Structure 1
């Protein structure tokens, strides 16, 4: 314990904690749980790209304090999450409450496992996410679950190649916005209890094969729209993505990432 007269000033006390793993290269779980809200959590994990150390699960937990992490996932409460990193793992999970969640995620599946899963959860705060997807697999499936309450939901997504995107998003008492990858083909279902729903696409836009963007509307109501988005005259019979987004009091909008830019 430190004592001083009232006029004394203190610098922030910092601790550097290093964890050295044994020679083995595969671990089931790496977790931290620091409950002191006065502590700033700065985590930097350096991996040897030529001799990987593998973790089935990586968890960083805090209470009432921000976390700044240069790796796969984090969880906090009552504090902002602001991340920008590359995901080379099957699953990434970010969670907070009562504060903004801002994430730029580069989801790269170079393992051939077939894609990544992205879980973003907030409550009483906005989510602003940019998700870029890439894979060397022709059958990669990227799954994203983005949910909050009482905060704007803004998701921009892009991808290289024609992979599948399965995305579910929701908020309440706030608008929802989704910018789809230009290559997206599949179903959509957007709804709002008291707001409006809309799809905004350039009718003159063509893809790399000269095909026009088509929207096959199955449900076309002010508060609910559902159907298929695809390129060309006929929707694909297989390999379709799926988009669902909902809110309560405000509007839901879907557009194209390129057109949004």
Structure 2
């Protein structure tokens, strides 16, 4: 049994975790650059916790400029085993209303201006993201949300767009009617792919703020309304996070879904052909195998 360490990546409106014992903001160096911010570490109900504000405190990073690789590497480097992503999103479904949460289980990645892998020339690897989130971790998030009194939807497809602008009406209708997506956001990709490469269990809690632009009664996205909903969502998100240590426990076995073995057969480059400089950068992400 290994020691659990829950890593929370906070999105818009969620910039800390309340109630951490021994809490301190820590600098974590990564060979992939500087993370979005320092990482807040401590314990909650006897379980180690780490919190990283995705956009940085004060919201300084746009969705495109978030240093996704550095963030995931830094969390893995300090011992995180389970990553909970919290993010704001728009909804394509009438029944998925502002204020609701969706525990996402699928993604369509429409981002194009971001580095999406730790691997490349000098060490090629191909991981499966057929099922990009961890069902065990997702189930804990659903249970925690229900206990918090949140209307939560178990499963949904998240359309990751580049941003920073919101969708056009034509795009919104296509994502909803043709592609069958449930929610839309700007930050879960390549985060989920990188967590899989780093052999971390990953769950995504998408907090709905609006109906994007498809809804005939709501029109275009209103940032003022989004901010109002964000405030309530952030409070519920903090409550959800506080319940996770009791659900996940201080010790954990191997992931029953294989998240912690995602690289087992993924690395393709022969050992003698691997780039030493890249291998050095992979020490935390792929250290189990390399």
* TM-score, normalised via structure 2 length: 0.24
Q: Which has the higher contact order (CA 8 A, sep 6+)?
A: 2
Give the strand-richer structure, 1 or 2.
1
Give the helix-richer structure, 1 or 2.
2
* TM-score, normalised via structure 1 length: 0.25
